[in-house]
Structure formats: structure tokens, C-alpha cells
Amino acid sequence: MSSTIESVLQETRAFPPPEAFVKQANISGMAAYEAMCNEAERDFEGFWARLARENLLWHKPFTRILDESNAPFFKWFEDGELNASYNCLDRHLKTQPDKIAIVFEADDGKVTHVTYRQLYEKVCQFANGLKKRGIAKGDRVLIYMPMSVEAIVAMQACARIGATHSVVFGGFSAKSVQERIVDAGAVAVITADGQFRGGKEIPLKPAIDEALAMGGCEAIKSVVVYKRTGTSIPMTAPRDAWWSDVVAGQPTDCEPTWVGAEHPLFILYTSGSTGKPKGVQHSTGGYLLHAMITMKWVFDIKPKDIFWCTADVGWVTGHTYIAYGPLAVGTTQVVFEGVPTYPDAGRFWKMIQDHKVNIFYTAPTAIRSLIKAGGDLPKNYDLKSLRILGSVGEPINPEAWRWYYETVGGSRCPIVDTWWQTETGGHMITPLPGVHALKPGSCQAPLPGVIADIVDETGHSVGNGKGGILVIKKPWPSMIRTIWGDPERFKKSYFPEDFQGKYYLAGDGATKDEKGNITIMGRIDDVLNVSGHRLGTMEIESALVSNSKLVAEAAVVGRPDDLTGEAVVAFVVTKGPRPSGEEAKAMANELRAWVAKEIGSIAKPKDIRFGDNLPKTRSGKIMRRLLRSIAKGEAITQDVSTLENPAILDQLKQNL
Ligand code: ATP
Ligand code: MG
């Protein structure tokens, strides 16, 4: 069986960057981009070494660049020493201490400003407090916090003292927290009494108490609690301490703990769209380097920019593009506690207007839900400050892209559709705003120094105009170092024998068009095989979503079929109320005909079901593996710990 993937959807529009934009861009024009790619090709290690010297402040300079002796456990800049927090804060103290680092907007709309000096002092005080509580270099610290200045302070303070943090998204259950504490071997927890989201108060500390009572967490000797909601919660002395007591009387300076470049800055458990969460271990030097260069290259960051990434710090996007990248390059960023639909679906647009945001970075799931909730709302706000839009987390359907481009960006702002993963540490494949003519729904081109390709199952490049398996052929500085505590799983998952252990396997299918533009087609595990044609989920879903009158969101999976091998089953969320009975049948027929017209009868769904929503991870991604079980009529036996909305499964099952 061939592993190439067919592309059936034709997307021919192209949006070249305006000339004025190209002129001012950090990477200005195709020639500049190609020159960088060539430099990396000529002298791969020299290229990365130059960037590492230019961008990072080294306490002890590195002399070795890439160590491949124990591949695939690659090491970068290994004998160099630095500190991530020093690189994010201290470097700005002389040049721009009074610049706003964080504009924090709370759920209720209250705005707080924190300057670089203030942030430095908060981090130092908290770092000193952690040290006093016995937390030292190499310890693992679990962070379970609301979106807040303090969440960033907690991460930076860990980095400052050489402790490895593991942030767990505040929506996860006590059981998930306990599993991660045990897996990481954490010795301390930083949390809050609770959080506000969408006008509701949600407790946090009780989940920690519950997790710690489950057993296996005996190593936890300290729980620091930030008071956010003020609701009374039990505190267990001497284990638990209030944040305010931990920092009281602590000096506002704290000598950073210098660590080797390979020292684990953090462990982050992936969201689990495809299986049991894995603890992705990242380095300090290589990781921070990639965070910085992508802020400059992809977001084209300038000294006066206001940057806003809407992710939660519980995801990798919130690590690289909130807690580290923006600070390391000295930008002013917006940090938001709440949700996009509270008090109404205009919240994002109002915040862009109020804070004069220039660079806005969000996820397709948010875009699709905001179109459904109020596609005209952006028109009520002044969004002229915007100059770049970004997308991350899933393929963005061309229809959603068009809305984002026109209605939010005023047909003026390049969209950077950034493909990357928890494992890659930072952006890998994305159009650059001053370089590429944009192709809706496509992440287009690898960054200079990122050697991405699309191959068949024997590892041979498929070439332009074809689809296959996305791989990275050379190590890169911000890559995953291992799966915490499970090096064998790391090797098997990412450097499989199929490619002689040489290529990093991303797990996504992708195609290249005639010009070489890369488009993600969906996860390899989700690829459908209909009458011998291998189809990615993305194009069929995008074809459905392109029916903007009826469809808000769609997910497609395969189901075994006697005739065609596999049949396409589509789960659809409609723009209006969920149809039932005859209305549902008629709409299903209309959508089947629509897909046949858009991409051909090969992709026509055999079965269409309607739901109020789709099963999603807590980071907002569609969990197709659950839909596959439903489509087959099987019981769901997989891990559902990361599922946001379990109730929806019953609705989609009943729909049979
Ligand atoms: P798990 O690996 O545990 O199943 P996950 O893959 O959802 O979780 P992340 O690392 O957050 O966790 O997501 C990376 C994946 O998200 C990519 O492999 C890809 O499938 C998808 N993705 C991210 N950005 C894009 C993008 N711009 N275009 C298309 N797909 C994207
Ligand atoms: Mg993944």
C-alpha cells in the first residue's frame, strides 16, 4: 500500500505581502529568506551557532555546537552555560526597565500593567522564596495556575533557580494532576485558590489536595498558593503556604543559577489528541534560541509592537509565545485571564481595540467558534492597529482563513499559519509575513535551518505535487530531548526504524503543491483510505466548512466499508440550531452533494451526523480517534483524560 496522500481540494488564491510591509520586515523579501536557507545549507552548524551567539546571553560561551554521538538524543551548545530568566529579564534592566512587559486583563476587564523592572523584582522575590522552601536546581515543580502575571512569574522563577517546571492546564482534573506529579517526580506545586473564567469562579487548590491524597505524591513537600478568588480553602501546614507569605521580606534581586544549555527548562505533557499524554522534555539554550528567532522572523517583532497570544500557559504555545519568547525579545504583551465569549463574543476584538494590539495569535478553534457566535462583530471595533495575524494548533480551513483575513485583518495583515508541535518547541513551517505570497489553509514553507520534507514510507521525498508523511531530516536546537522517564518511547515515537532512526517523524500527513507549498492534511493516524485513495481529513472538512451558510465546524473520520474499504463519516456542527428528523436528512443530502461538487464524489460522506459541538481536547482540538469509535459503533475505551466535553459523545452516539 502506498503512503502517499492525495490532494483533492484546489486552492489557487495567493496573497502577496504588500510592498510597504516587505520593506520594513525583519526578513525582507524572498531573496533574503533564500539567502538564510542557503547559509544553513552551506554550514548548518555554523548557521545555528551564529544565531545562538547573536541572540542569547551566555554566562559561559559554548564551544561545541551539535553533538550527534548519541542520536537521536541530540545535544546543542552543550558546554555553554546560561539562564533563561536572565535572558528574559536582566537583559532589559539597563536598556528598558520601565517598558511595559505585561498588560494583564482580568476576566472582569480590570487591567494591570507590569514593567520589566517590576517583573524582574517579582520573579527574584519569588525565586528567593522558592529557594527558602528548599526547592533547588534540578527539582521538578508542578504549576497549576490561572492565566495571570503570577503564572509567568512562577515559570520564570523556576527557570531562575534551575528548577524544571511542568505546567498543567488549570482545566485538568485531580487525577490528571496526580498522574503528572508522579510521572515527573515533582517535589513542589505552585497553584492558586481558584480562577475566574467567563464570570464564573472555578476552584483550583481543591484539585491539588485531591491529587495529593491519591497517593504516589509523597515527594511533594511544598504547595505555594496564590490568592486569586479569596474563597476560603483548607491549608495544610507546613506543606501549604500563601504566595504573599513566601515572598514577604525577600530581596528583589536573586543571582540566577547558571545551567548547562541542555539543562531541562521544562517538561510539558502533550494535549493527548492521539493517546496517553507524554512528558515532552525541553532544553534551556536551544529552546530559548528558537523562541527568540521566531518572535523576530515570524511575528516580525519591532520595539513598539504590542503582541497578544491568546493561548493558555498550560500549552506549549503559552510557554514559547507568552512565558519566554516575548520577554526574551523585550516586547510588550497582553495576557488575558478570561474566555473569548465573555461578556460577549466581541471580547477579543474589544481587547485588540483597547490595547492597540499589533500582532494577534490565536487558534482555528477560537476563530470558528467566534464566526459562529458573531461573524459580524469585529466590524463594531477599531482593529486598525493590527499588522500581523497568526494561527496555530490545527489546520485552518480556507473559509475560516478568509474570514480572519478580511473581517479581522481588513485584508491588510499577513496571516502566519504556524505549524509546530509541543515537541518542536517553536514554529517550524510557516509563511513569513514579509516573504511569502499567502496560500489560505497552508503553512507553506519551513524556516531557514529547518529541514522539513514530505516522504513516502521508504523515506524518499515525494516531490512537488504529491502528499505523504511529514518529517524533519536534521535535528534543530529547540527539539524535544526525550520523553521524561521513557527514552525508549521517545525513540519509537519520533525516530522510528522505518526511516533508519534518522528522521524526526511529526505524525502529520502533508502535501506539497507544484510550487512546493506545504499543506498539512491531518494526522497520519486519521488518514482515510477510500477505494484505494488516501485522503487527509483536512480537505474534506474544509470543503464542508466552505459551505458557510450551513456549516460552522466539521470533523471527518473513516469507517470500514465492504465496498470502498473505508467510508467517509462526517460530524457537522451547523451554524443554526442542530437539525433533527427530516430536516437533518435533507441537510445531510445537501452537504453530500456539496462535497461532491467541491472535491469530487470520492470524498462524499456516506454518513453525516449533527452535533452541538465536536469532542475536543482542553486545548480545543478535535479528537477524531473518539469519533472513529463512534462511527464504527464501538464502545470508547481510549484515554479520555484530556477530553473537554465528554457529554457530547452521547449526543453523537444517539444520532445513529
Ligand atoms: P498529542 O500529540 O498528545 O496527540 P497534540 O498533537 O494535539 O497532542 P500539540 O503538540 O499541541 O499536541 O499539537 C501539534 C499538532 O497540532 C501538530 O502535529 C498538528 O497536527 C497540529 N497543528 C499545529 N499547528 C498546525 C497548523 N498551523 N496547521 C496544521 N496543523 C497544525
Ligand atoms: Mg502531537
Per-residue pLDDT for 656 more than 60? no
Shortest-distance ligand to the CA of residue 641: 1
Predicted local distance difference test score (pLDDT) of residue 469: 96
The per-residue pLDDT for range 523-541, each reduced to its tens digit, is 999 999 998 888 999 999 9
Provide the mean pLDDT of the chain.
95
- 642 in any annotated domain: yes
Task: Give the residue, out of 274, 317, 394, 432, with the most ligand 1 atoms within 8 A of its beta carbon, to mutate for a pocket test.
Answer: 394
Write out the three cell numbers for 392: 496555530
* pLDDT at residue 2 greater than cutoff 60: no
C-alpha 593 to ligand 2 mean position (Å): 33
CA 542 to chain centre: 21
Task: Pick the atom of ligand 1 nearest to 429's CA.
Answer: 27
CATH code for position 579:
3.30.300.30
Residue 249 lies in a domain: no
Probe target for ligand 1 pocket from 11, 392, 401, 419, with the most ligand atoms within 8 Å of CB: 419
Strand order of the β-sheet with 482-483 is 240-242, 222-226, 188-192, 140-144, 164-167, 266-269, 279-282, 482-483
Ligand nearest to the CA of 642: 1
CB atoms within 10 A of CB 215: 9
Give the three-class secondary structure for 276: coil
Q: Residue by residue, what is the 3-state secondary structure of 208-229?
A: HHHHHHCCCCCCCCEEEEECCC
Is 545 annotated among the ligand-binding residues?
Answer: yes
The CA distance from 647 to 314, in Å, is: 23
Given the CA of residue 315, which atom of ligand 1 is nearest to it?
11
Q: List the residue whose alpha carbon is closest to atom 6 of ligand 1.
A: 273
Closest CA to 608 of 632, 628, 583, 591: 591
DSSP state letters, 577-638: SPP-HHHHHHHHHHHHHHHHHHH-GGG--SEEEE-SS--BBTTS-B-HHHHHHHHHT----S
Task: Give the model's pLDDT for residue 275.
Answer: 66
Give 447-499 pLDDT, tens digit per residue: 999 999 999 999 999 999 999 999 999 999 999 999 999 999 999 999 999 88
Gap between the Cα atoms of 261 and 476, Å rounded: 14
* Domains in the chain, number: 1
Distance CA(109)–CA(496), nearest Å, equals 49
CA atoms within 13 A on the CB side of 609: 25
pLDDT for residue 83 is more than 70: yes
Distance from Cα 421 to the centre of ligand 1, integer Å: 5
Q: Three cell numbers at 576?
A: 443554526
Q: Give me ligand 1 centre to Cα 392, in Å.
A: 8
Angle between helices 285-297 and 44-55 (to 10 degrees): 80
Task: Evaluate whether 105 touches 336 at the Cβ level (below 8 Å).
Answer: yes
Supply the pLDDT for residue 3: 63
Cell representation of residue 173? 482534573
- Record the cell numbers describing residue 555, joined without a space: 470533523
What spacing in Å lies between the alpha carbon of 423 and ligand 1's midpoint? 9
Residue 523 among known ligand-binding residues: yes
In the structure, which protein residues have their CB atom closer than 6 angstroms to any atom of ligand 1? Answer: 270-274, 316, 391-395, 417-422, 443, 506-508, 520, 523, 621
**End-to-end C-alpha distance for the chain, whole angstroms:** 32
Query: What is the pLDDT confidence band of residue 10, given thresholds at 50, 70 and 90?
Result: confident
420 marked among binding-site residues: yes
* Check: complex ipTM more than 0.95: yes
Confidence bin at 274 (pLDDT 50/70/90):
low
Question: What's residue 1's pLDDT?
Answer: 40
Q: 38-52, 69-83, 166-180, 435-449 — which is least confidently predicted? A: 166-180
Mean pLDDT of 321-342: 98
- Annotated binding residue at 531? yes
Q: How far apart are CA 196 and CA 200, in angstroms?
A: 6
Ligand-binding annotation for 417, yes or no, is yes
In a domain, 566, yes or no: yes
Mutate which of 396, 416, 438, 520 for ligand 1 pocket (most atoms within 8 A of beta carbon): 520
333 domain-assigned:
no
| Closest-lying ligand 1 atom to the alpha carbon of residue 270 | 3
Ligand with smallest separation from the Cα of 312 = 1
Tell me the residue range of the domain where 545 lies.
531-653
Q: What is the pLDDT of residue 655?
A: 58
Confirm or deny that 244 is annotated as ligand binding. Answer: no
Segment holding 22, helix H or strand E: helix 19-24
Distance of alpha carbon 40 from alpha carbon 600, whole angstroms: 41
CA 393 / ligand 1 centre spacing (Å): 5
Sheet holding 504-512, edge to edge: 452-455, 467-472, 504-512, 518-523
Residue located nearest, by CA, to atom 28 of ligand 1: 395
Instruction: Please report whether residue 563 resides in a domain.
Output: yes
**For position 4, what pLDDT does the model report?**
77
Candidate of 168, 183, 270 to mutate for ligand 1, largest count of ligand atoms within 8 Å of Cβ: 270
Q: What is residue 26's DSSP assignment?
A: S
Predicted local confidence at residue 547, as pLDDT = 95
* pLDDT at residue 532 in the model: 86
Residues 262 and 76: beta-carbon distance below 8 Å: yes
Q: Which 3 state secondary structure label does DSSP give 352?
A: helix
Residue 325 Cα to ligand 2 midpoint, Å, equals: 21
> Would residue 637 count as lying in a domain?
yes
pLDDT band at 6 (very low <50, low <70, confident <90, very high): confident
Find out whether 618 and 170 touch, Cβ atoms under 8 Å: no
Mean pLDDT of the 638-653 span: 85
Backbone phi and psi for residue 167, each to the nearest 5 degrees, phi listed first: -85, 130
Q: What's the gap in Å between 168 CA and the centre of ligand 2?
A: 16
On whether residue 630 sits in a domain, the answer given is: yes
pLDDT tens digits for 373-388? Answer: 989 999 999 999 999 9
Is 508 labeled as ligand-binding? yes
Burial bucket for residue 341 (CB in 10 Å: 0-12, 13-18, 19+) = middle
Q: What share of the chain has pLDDT > 90, as a percent?
A: 89
Query: Residue 277 CA: which ligand 1 atom is closest?
Result: 3
**Taking 70 as the threshold, does the pLDDT of residue 273 lie above it?**
no
- Helix orientation angle between 581-599 and 537-545, rounded to the nearest 10 degrees: 120
| Mutation to probe ligand 1, out of 278, 421, 424, 525 (largest number of atoms < 8 A from CB) | 421
For residue 438 the three cell numbers come to 499567502
Q: Is residue 584 part of a domain?
A: yes
Tell me the CA–centroid distance for residue 563 and ligand 1, in Å.
32
**Residue minimizing CA distance to atom 1 of ligand 1:** 272
| pLDDT tops 70 at residue 271 | no
DSSP state for residue 438 in the 8-state scheme:
B
Instruction: Please report which ligand is nearest the Cα atom of 424.
Output: 1
Residue whose Cα lies nearest atom 26 of ligand 1: it is 419
Measuring from atom 19 of ligand 1, which residue has the nearest CA? 394
Task: Note the pLDDT of residue 604.
Answer: 94
pLDDT tens digits along 203-235:
999 999 999 999 999 999 999 999 999 999 999
- Looking at the chain, the whole-number percentage of residues with pLDDT higher than 70 is 98
The answer to whether residue 632 scores a pLDDT higher than 70 is yes
